[in-house]
Structure formats: structure tokens, C-alpha cells
Amino acid sequence: MERSYVIKPELGKAYPKISHGKGIYLYDQDGKEYIDGCGGAVTASIGHGVQEIADAMVEQARQVSFAYRSHFSSDAVEQLGAKLAEWAPGSLNWTFFVSSGSEATETAQKIAIQYWQEKGYERKNRIISRWMSYHGITMGALSMSGHVMRRKRFTSLLADYPAISAPYVYRKPDELSIEEYAHKRADELEVAIRRIGKENIAAFIAEPVIGASGGALVAPAGYFERIREICDRNEILFIADEVMTGMGRTGKPFGINHWNVVPDLMALGKGMSAGYTPMAAAMATDEIIETITKGSGLIMAGHTYSANPQSAATSLAVVRYMEENNLVEKAAVHGEYLLAQLKQIVADYEMVGDARGLGMLTGLEFVKNKETKESFAASVGVGTRVLQRAFAKGLIIYPAMSGADGLVSDSIIVAPPLTITRDEIDRLLGILRAAIEEVQAELKAEGKL
Ligand code: PMP
């Protein structure tokens, strides 16, 4: 084996080398074909190898790739900013560009804190989040995240932010209606605010659909409306983490568009550039930016690569491609079909307890007992087994497990490029079924199911 000095997710494991990609397919150097059933990390939303994007990238590289944001703006970044303002709800018109989702959530966090400082509230600086959540891997973003497995080694270094429970409709107590459950969960925010004191809290952050730590858990109707009302009443900003759910992934421009709510800040990433370049952003309302402009006039955030012309031109080409090909609408239509088929998988397999999702962000949850909804022990690693079997058969899906028994689900995410056709969805599901079938037989043989 060729010697490698690259630190990989699993040290010591050999990974296939990528050769090229086209549409929903990826090919390794041995010529094996994979269906990219999760756009890598719910990222490649327009598919691989799109010529228009490659052309736009070359064009910008010929002009200029890098000019520092402290010195220059660019056509690309201005046009992308205008496009995002068009896409975003309410007065979320302002964009701060960064390069990763973690930077985006941390930038939103910093803007929220700065907003209150500019208004004279120096102590309003804590962020409330939810236990089942993932907002990024850097320390500030991890402080807001509930992803136990990723936090574990660093817990003592993380900011001690309070967390409330997220709604988990599959595990809703039977005696509550959906509406009562939505309110009950949202009202936990009110309790947390009372305990800590609104004078100490800058913002509440949530993913409209929980991704990496929950497996496409969709909040019930009425939940975010109630959250918005509680935030307003207590003068706390609402940050929607749209890193995974934004840019059409859920069949609407942003995940939060499924509720009748406008956040104060949004974090974007992943689908913003669909994997063609590192690109992410924090968006803020007119009110927030006007307040900071009248105050210090300088947002204390930013990275070397923030708003570089090369990434902006690439991302702009991706957004235009999405518009020209009606990919948001397609995600809604094909997503409905995908979810219906996943529900059929729930009906067909003993170890699959739930299928859920919005648009092209869907998930399956594995359970030991369908009646009681008892989960498998984390050590059984059912989701991981399904991922491995699927990968061997040429299907890539995304894990959604945070590794703590009792706290989280053992789930996978199916989130293919929004360009996927119905035939391709059927092909994807055929491989997924075969993988589940094998794991189910294996668990039976081991006496674990
Ligand atoms: N927020 C959410 C909702 C995410 O899903 C992710 C990535 N999985 C992040 C933030 C962090 O993004 P990145 O990995 O680009 O830093």
C-alpha cells in the first residue's frame, strides 16, 4: 500500500481514491460506481461535474481568485449577496461570508452578542440551544451543539450553554396531540429563559430539521411559531441554523419557510456552493445591521477567505443553476416520492422504526422493537452497519448518530442531489433495501433483533 501522511477520519483505514463524478454518481480510481445518496455531507445538491459551474470557476480564476475583503468587494460577491437577499425571508437581507458551516454558526452567534452590546446590554451573551443538535465542530459552534460524541473530549472547555429538548415526533407521548406536544417542547425555552434570566441571553439557535444528530427530525407544526413568540416576548434573537436545510434542500428556499416564522439570523453552508468550493454565510436582518452600523460600525468577525471572489463566483453560479433548473420545486416533488418509498421500507422491515423528512432531507431510524420503539444499544452500531453495507454495494448515505444510548436515535440520512430523477431514486432505494435486508438477517443471526 502507498504510504500516506494524510489524517483521515479513521486512522489506519484505507479509503478508495476518488476519480471523478457526474450527476448523482461518483467513481473511484478502481472504476467502481457509487450513487451519492447524501451529497457527501448533504452538500452536493446540484450533482457532480456540472459544466456551467466549472466554466464559471475558470472564468473567475482568469480574472482574479483572491482579493482580501478589507481591501476590495467584487461583482461576484455583490451579486451573490443580492441573490441571497432575494431568497431569504423577511428583512434577512445582509450576508457575512465565511467558508464553513461552523464558521457560519459562530459568526451568527457573534453578531447576536454584538447586537445586544451595541444596544447597551453587555451581559446578554449566552446562547440557548437544543440537546439534539449539531451546529459545528469549532469550539464556539460545538458549545451550542448537543452532539454528545463530538463534544465528549472537550466538554470541560466548552462554553456552558443551556440546552432544551428538541421535539421528536416519533417519540411523542401518545396522550399529547401534535399541537400540545409542539407547545410543550417550545415552552421549555420559556422555562430556561426564566431560570437564566433574559438579561443574560443573546439568542436561541435551532436547526429547522435536525440533521447529523437526529436523522432528519422535522419539528411539528406550530413549534417554531411558538419559539418565535417566546423569543420576541423575552427580547432574545432567533438563529435558524440552515447549514443543512437551506438553499432548497427541503423543497423550500430555507427549512424555516415551512413554518410561518422569520428568524433574526440564519447560518448557511453546504448547498450554498453545492461542494464546488468551501462557502458559507451568516445572514442578518436590516434591524440588526442598522443597529451595528449606527453603533461601532464594524462586525467583529471574519476569516482570511471570507467573501473571496473565487468562492463567491462559484457559489453564484450554483445558485443561478438552481434557479434555472427549478431545483427547489424539484426537491419538493421528488422529496415527497422519496419519503413515501422510505415509509414503505418502514412497513417492510422489522428493524426500521421511522421514516421522516422534508423535501430531499430524509431519514430512517432503526429500532430493536417497533412496538416499544426501544433503540438498539449504541455498541451494536446498526446505522454504521447499514452505511458500510450500502457503501460496499455502491450507495453512499450519511450517518446520524451521536453515540449516547437513550439520548439519541440510531439513524441514517438519505439526501441525494436535488437533481436526482425518479428512476435514480428507485435505484438508490433498491441498494438501500438490499443493505438493510443483510443487516437485519445479521442481527437476527446474532440474536440482537
Ligand atoms: N450546522 C449544521 C446544521 C450542520 O449540519 C453542519 C455540518 N454537518 C454544520 C453546522 C457545520 O458545518 P461545517 O461542517 O461546514 O463546519
CATH assignment at residue 415: 3.90.1150.10
| Closest C-alpha to ligand 1, atom 5 | 244
**Cβ of 212 below 6 Å from ligand 1:** yes
Quickly state the pLDDT bin for 313 (edges 50, 70, 90): very high
Is the domain of 79 the same as that of 101?
A: yes
**Cβ of 99 below 6 Å from ligand 1:** no
**Cβ of 361 below 6 Å from ligand 1:** no
Residue that finishes a domain, picked among 269, 303, 324: 324
Looking at residue 180, its pLDDT comes to 97
Nearest ligand 1 atom, CA 138: 16
Instruction: Give me the domain span that covers residue 417.
Output: 18-49+326-445
Mutating to test ligand 1, I would choose from 270, 277, 398, 411 the residue with most ligand atoms within 8 A of its C-beta, which is 270
Q: In the numeric block, which cell numbers belong to residue 107?
A: 459568526
Is the domain of 43 the same as that of 151?
A: no
Q: In the numeric block, which cell numbers belong to residue 236?
A: 432574545
C-alpha count within 13 angstroms, C-beta hemisphere, residue 25: 11
In a domain, 9, yes or no: no
Mean pLDDT, residues 18-30 taken together: 98
Quickly state the pLDDT bin for 268 (edges 50, 70, 90): very high
Is the domain of 240 the same as that of 366?
A: no
Quickly state the pLDDT bin for 397 (edges 50, 70, 90): very high
Is the domain of 99 the same as that of 212?
A: yes
Of the candidates 107, 90, 146, the residue with the CA atom closest to the CA atom of residue 280: 107
Cα–Cα separations (whole angstroms), residue 155 to 151, 212, 420: 6, 19, 40
In a domain, 218, yes or no: yes
Residue that finishes a domain, picked among 276, 300, 324: 324
User: Taken in order 323, 239, 275, 271, is the CA torsion positive or negative?
Assistant: negative
Cα–Cα separations (whole angstroms), residue 120 to 113, 124, 199, 233: 11, 9, 11, 19
Is the domain of 249 the same as that of 273?
A: yes
Looking at residue 417, its pLDDT comes to 98
For residue 4, the CA-to-ligand 1 centroid distance in Å is: 27
For residue 413, the CA-to-ligand 1 centroid distance in Å is: 14
Is the domain of 200 the same as that of 234?
A: yes
| Residue range 405-416, pLDDT digits in tens | 455 678 999 999
Is the domain of 425 the same as that of 293?
A: no
Of the candidates 89, 104, 80, the residue with the CA atom closest to the CA atom of residue 268: 104
In a domain, 333, yes or no: yes
Residue that finishes a domain, picked among 324, 344, 362: 324
pLDDT higher than threshold 80 for residue 403 = no
For residue 275, the CA-to-ligand 1 centroid distance in Å is: 13
Quickly state the pLDDT bin for 360 (edges 50, 70, 90): very high
**Cβ of 100 below 6 Å from ligand 1:** yes
Quickly state the pLDDT bin for 377 (edges 50, 70, 90): confident
Is the domain of 354 the same as that of 237?
A: no
Mean pLDDT, residues 229-258 taken together: 98
Nearest ligand 1 atom, CA 102: 16
For residue 101, the CA-to-ligand 1 centroid distance in Å is: 4
Quickly state the pLDDT bin for 92 (edges 50, 70, 90): very high
Looking at residue 1, its pLDDT comes to 62
Quickly state the pLDDT bin for 168 (edges 50, 70, 90): very high
Q: Whole-angstrom Cα distance, residue 93 to residue 228?
A: 19
**Cβ of 243 below 6 Å from ligand 1:** yes
Q: Rounded mean pLDDT of the chain?
A: 96
pLDDT higher than threshold 80 for residue 118 = yes
Looking at residue 172, its pLDDT comes to 95
For residue 274, the CA-to-ligand 1 centroid distance in Å is: 13
Quickly state the pLDDT bin for 349 (edges 50, 70, 90): very high
**How many C-beta atoms surround the C-beta of residue 198 within 10 A?**
14
**Is 242:281 a contact under the CB 8 Å cutoff?**
no
For residue 47, the CA-to-ligand 1 centroid distance in Å is: 19
Is the domain of 45 the same as that of 71?
A: no
- What's the chain's Rg over C-alpha atoms? 22
What CATH number did the domain enclosing 298 receive? 3.40.640.10
In a domain, 11, yes or no: no
Q: Whole-angstrom Cα distance, residue 175 to residue 55?
A: 57
Q: Whole-angstrom Cα distance, residue 230 to residue 187?
A: 8
**Cβ of 136 below 6 Å from ligand 1:** yes
Of the candidates 239, 218, 166, the residue with the CA atom closest to the CA atom of residue 335: 218
Mutating to test ligand 1, I would choose from 42, 100, 102, 401 the residue with most ligand atoms within 8 A of its C-beta, which is 102
In a domain, 67, yes or no: yes
Q: In the numeric block, which cell numbers belong to residue 400?
A: 446520524
SS (H, E, C) 203-267: EEEECCEECCCCCCEECCCCHHHHHHHHHHHCCCEEEEECCCCCCCCCCCCCHHHHCCCCCCEEE
Is the domain of 290 the same as that of 420?
A: no
In a domain, 28, yes or no: yes
For residue 70, the CA-to-ligand 1 centroid distance in Å is: 26
**Cβ of 207 below 6 Å from ligand 1:** yes
**Is 39:417 a contact under the CB 8 Å cutoff?**
yes
**Cβ of 147 below 6 Å from ligand 1:** no
Mean pLDDT, residues 381-390 taken together: 95
**Is 363:215 a contact under the CB 8 Å cutoff?**
yes
**Cβ of 106 below 6 Å from ligand 1:** no
**Cβ of 188 below 6 Å from ligand 1:** no
Mean pLDDT, residues 48-72 taken together: 98
Looking at residue 408, its pLDDT comes to 60
Looking at residue 47, its pLDDT comes to 98
pLDDT higher than threshold 70 for residue 28 = yes
Is the domain of 305 the same as that of 330?
A: no
pLDDT higher than threshold 70 for residue 379 = yes
Which are the contacts of 85, defined by CB distance < 8 A and separation ≥ 6?
A: 92, 93, 94, 95
**Cβ of 134 below 6 Å from ligand 1:** yes
pLDDT higher than threshold 70 for residue 433 = yes
In a domain, 4, yes or no: no
SS (H, E, C) 350-383: CCEEEEEEECCEEEEEECCECCCCECCCHHHCHH
Looking at residue 405, its pLDDT comes to 47
For residue 134, the CA-to-ligand 1 centroid distance in Å is: 7
For residue 234, the CA-to-ligand 1 centroid distance in Å is: 28
**Cβ of 268 below 6 Å from ligand 1:** no
Number of domains, the chain: 2
| Closest C-alpha to ligand 1, atom 10 | 135
Does residue 408 or residue 361 have the better pLDDT? 361
Mean pLDDT, residues 280-303 taken together: 96
In a domain, 3, yes or no: no
Predicted TM-score of the model (pTM): 0.97
Is the domain of 269 the same as that of 367?
A: no
